[in-house]
Amino acid sequence: QLQLQESGPGLVKPSETLSLSCTVSGASISSNNDYWGWIRQSPGKGLEWIGSFHYSGSTYTRPSLKSRVTMSGDTSRNQISLKLTSVTAADTAVYYCARQRNLPGGYFDLWGRGTLVSVSS
């Protein structure tokens, strides 16, 4: 059974880098057919797609976040990772990882439980 679990610090200071991992179990992140997405949810902005990653290194990123986002994968740990630099309070949200279907734009058929990240000094 495919499961995804996000992990990372719940509190990040303004201007610092938010780093999250998503551990995938029940499937390999190196599956050729799968992209892995990051989505966040904040009260003010609802659900917002951040970017999607393929183990080959191919990525798609939200244009407004592209300069601050890095996504990567570790096949030995079956994890995908997200880094968001220069965070502000506007980056406070619940962050989800999810498996994406359909490319390059896609829908998300399996989600992690999400992890709340607050940006505050």
Partner 1 sequence: DIQMTQSPSSLSASVGDRVSITCRASQDIGKSVAWYQQRPGKAPRLLFFAASRLESGVPSRFSGSGSGTDYTLTISGLQPEDFATYYCQQYYTIPQTFGLGTKVEIK
Stretch that binds partner 1, among 15-23, 24-32, 43-51, 83-91 (CB under 8 A): 43-51
Radius of gyration from C-alpha coordinates of the chain: 13
- Per CB under 8 A, the list member of 19, 42, 70, 106 interacting with partner 1 is 106
Q: Report if residue 63 touches partner 1, rule: CB under 8 A.
A: yes
In the complex, what is the shortest distance from the CB of residue 85 to partner 1, in angstroms, rounded to a whole number? 19
User: Which CB atom, from 46 or from 57, has the smaller least distance to partner 1?
Assistant: 46
- Per CB under 8 A, the list member of 48, 68, 70, 72 interacting with partner 1 is 48
In the complex, what is the shortest distance from the CB of residue 51 to partner 1, in angstroms, rounded to a whole number? 9
Q: Report if residue 114 touches partner 1, rule: CB under 8 A.
A: yes
Return the ∠ at Cα 26 (arms to 37 and 54), rounded to 5°: 30
What are the DSSP calls for 24-91, one per residue?
Answer: EESS-TT-TT-EEEEEEEETTTEEEEEEEE-TTS-EEE-GGGTTTEEEEEETTTTEEEEEE-S--GGG
In the complex, what is the shortest distance from the CB of residue 74 to partner 1, in angstroms, rounded to a whole number? 22
CA distance 22 to 102: 20
Return the ∠ at Cα 97 (arms to 65 and 11), rounded to 5°: 70
Binding site for partner 1 (CB under 8 A): 46-49, 60, 62-64, 96, 98, 101-102, 104-114
